[in-house]
Amino acid sequence: MHDWMIWFGMAGILVIAEIFTGTFYLLMIALGMLAGGAAALTGVAFALQMTLAAIMGAIATFLLRKSSFARKHKVPAARDPNVNLDIGQTVDVAQWHGNHARAMYRGAMWDIELMPGAVAVTGTFVIREIRGSHLIVANTAS
């Protein structure tokens, strides 16, 4: 079996493994393997094939790490509806004292604060954030 077949076969195995992980890092190593296979096709010595594969894989991994694909856009837990199911629910507020109020929500009294830009009027508000026992709310239209 030729060297280039081994290189391309290993790259294919890494691509298949990447399907199960979803991190893109195995794809970057597979790019290095493809570079090694391309070097093998041109008849370069095995040591240089290995060097090219390692350098190309390292560069591709570094570029992926610096790209926006590697960064996860994390939402703080206080605002994440996947963490706190109360985010996005509504609460009725009968009376405001400045930007603060107390209201019944889920059978208990909660302290309520307005988000910046929200208007303190009586009525229904949407919960946008939870800080301890404080519900941070916005008007339903926003």
User: CA-to-CA distance for 23 and 15, rounded, in angstroms?
Assistant: 11
What pLDDT score was predicted for residue 133? Answer: 85
* Domain count for the chain: 2
User: Rounded to two decimals, what is the model's pTM?
Assistant: 0.52
Q: Tell me the residue range of the domain where 17 lies.
A: 3-66
Same domain flag for 96 and 41: no
Same domain flag for 59 and 100: no
pLDDT at 37 over 80: yes
Is residue 28 assigned to a domain? yes
Is residue 57 assigned to a domain? yes
Give every CB contact of residue 108 below 8 A, 6+ residues apart in sequence. none
Same domain flag for 95 and 130: yes
User: CA-to-CA distance for 112 and 126, rounded, in angstroms?
Assistant: 11
What pLDDT score was predicted for residue 35? Answer: 95
